[in-house]
Amino acid sequence: MEYKPKILAFAGSLRPDSYNKKLAKNAIRGAEAAGAEVTYIDLNDFPLPIYNAEIEEKGLPVNALKIKELFWKNDGFIIASPEYNSSISGALKNTIDWASRNASKDEVYLSCFIDKVALLLSASPGYLGGLRGLVHLRSILENINTFVLPGQKCISNASEAFDSQGNLKNPEQKETVEGLAKKLVETIRKLKN
């Protein structure tokens, strides 16, 4: 029987009507069509203090442990990241920073990122569609032992890109995003065989 990859999907934005939340949900359809089991989370549901080593010394916050558990349980990630000042959002960086910390002395450092596969997406009202932020996100993830798919998609003019149900209007963009999500599923399967 074919392996059923488990994928965690989320956006690096906290805004309820975020373009990147919509984009992540569009990608989910492609991953599910390819046979993956996808869990979507909203970072608003896991509020975290700004990373601080003094807090870490007292034990990881409950929501950091919950995020780590989700990262461990999944084979890969769909991450739709907004671009903030040519980089990634503070919320996304803080989530990655907390998840990277060890929950116990026996835990392998970066264990919830090692050998995972990530698909990067971005949507922005700007002309580049968030491209500059994905450069930073790719660098961060690759340096913590996550394989990042070479293909990615940036949606420019995001304020016009989605219909009232949050679906991508442009058929080519829709096909590309869903196709990349299918590629994520195929890549995970190959790595698991």
Residue 100 within any structural domain of the chain: yes
Residue 93 within any structural domain of the chain: yes
Residue 96 within any structural domain of the chain: yes
Say what the pLDDT of residue 153 is: 98
How many CB atoms are closer than 10 A to CB 19?
Answer: 25
Between CA 181 and CA 178 the distance in angstroms is 5
Residue 84 within any structural domain of the chain: yes
Is 168 exposed, middle or buried (CB count within 10 Å of its CB: 0-12, 13-18, 19+)? buried
Between CA 132 and CA 89 the distance in angstroms is 12
The domain that holds 168 is classified in CATH as 3.40.50.360
Tokens of 52: 């601080």
**What is the enclosing helix (H) or strand (E) of 123?**
strand 117-123
Query: Residue 140 to residues 27, 72, 113, 133: CA-CA distances in angstroms?
Result: 22, 18, 11, 11
Query: In this structure, are residues 34 and 186 in contact, taking their beta carbons and an 8 Å threshold?
Result: yes
DSSP state of 5: -
Residue 78 within any structural domain of the chain: yes
Tokens of 67: 């995020």
What is the number of structural domains in the chain?
1
Residue 1 within any structural domain of the chain: no
All residues at 6 or more sequence positions from 82 whose CB lies less than 8 Å from its CB, including other chains: 11, 12, 13, 18, 19, 20, 88, 89, 122, 123, 124, 130, 133
Tokens of 7: 């994928």
Whether the full predicted model's pTM is greater than 0.95, yes or no, is: yes
Residue 29 within any structural domain of the chain: yes
Say what the pLDDT of residue 193 is: 82
Residue 1 in 3-state DSSP?
A: coil
What domain range includes position 147? 6-192
* Full pLDDT tens readout for the chain, 193 residues: 789 999 999 999 999 999 999 999 999 999 999 999 999 999 999 999 999 999 999 999 999 999 999 999 999 999 999 999 999 999 999 999 999 999 999 999 999 999 999 999 999 999 999 999 999 999 999 999 999 999 999 999 999 999 999 999 999 999 999 999 999 999 999 998 8
Say what the pLDDT of residue 1 is: 76
Residue 126 within any structural domain of the chain: yes
